Structure 1
Amino acid sequence: MNIENDVIETLDQLERFLISVEDGGLGLTNVAGIAMATNNTDGRPFVAVLDDKHQLLLGRWISQDVYENGKEMVRTGPKRNKH
C-alpha cells in the first residue's frame, strides 16, 4: 500500500492536505476522489487519494480523532477562505 508515514493529527492538517490535493500541489495526476478507510491488516485509519479506477494514488495515516471528526470535510471538501 502506498501510504506515507506522516500522520495527520488534526482537522487543520487534514484541511491543508485536502487543499493541496485539490490544488495539484502534490504532483498527482488523474485524481478522481478522496476517501477515508481503515487498513484491513491492523485497522489503522487513513485518508486515500484515488484515481478514476479507484486505485490508491496516495494515502496518509490519520489519527482516530481525525477519522471520527473529519468525515464531513472529506465528503464535502475543505472550506476555503473567501477574500
Structure 2
Amino acid sequence: MHNELDIIDNLAELKRFLLSVELGSLGLQDVAGIGMATSNKDGRHFIAVFDDNQKLLLSRYVTDDVYENGKDMVRHGVQTKH
C-alpha cells in the first residue's frame, strides 16, 4: 500500500485527490477507474486507481468516516463548478 502518513482523513481531501486523478495532475497513465475497497490483509479501507487491465496505479488509505461518507463521491465523480 502507500505511505502511512498519506491517509485521506476528510471529505475535502478526498475531493482534492479525486480531482487530481480526474484532471490528470498526478501524471498517471491510462486511468480507467477509481474504487474504494477493504484490505483482506488488515481490514483497512483504501481508495484505488486502476488502468484498463485492473492494474493498480495508485492507492491511498482512507479513514472509516471517509470510506462510509465518500462512496457517492467516488462512485459519481467530483463535479466542478464552471
TM-score tier after normalising by the smaller chain length: over 0.9
**When the two structures are aligned, how many residues end up with a matched partner?**
81
Task: Structure 2: state its 5+ residue gaps.
Answer: none
Percent identity of the aligned residues? Answer: 57
Structure richer in helix, relative to its length: 2
Moved over 4 A (4+): none
Q: Note if contact 1:49-1:57 (Cα within 8 Å) is conserved in structure 2.
A: yes
Counterpart residue identity of residue 55, structure 1: K
Q: Give the TM-score taking structure 2 as reference length.
A: 0.93
After superposition, the CA RMSD in angstroms is 1.0
Superimposed CA distance per residue, residues 13-72 of structure 1 (whole angstroms, 9 cap, x where no aligned partner): 000000000111111001000000011100100000001011110000000000000000
Match of 1:54 in 2: 54
What pairs with 1:4-83 in structure 2 (closer than 5 Å)? 4-5=3-4, 6-82=6-82
The aligned amino acid for 2:11 is L
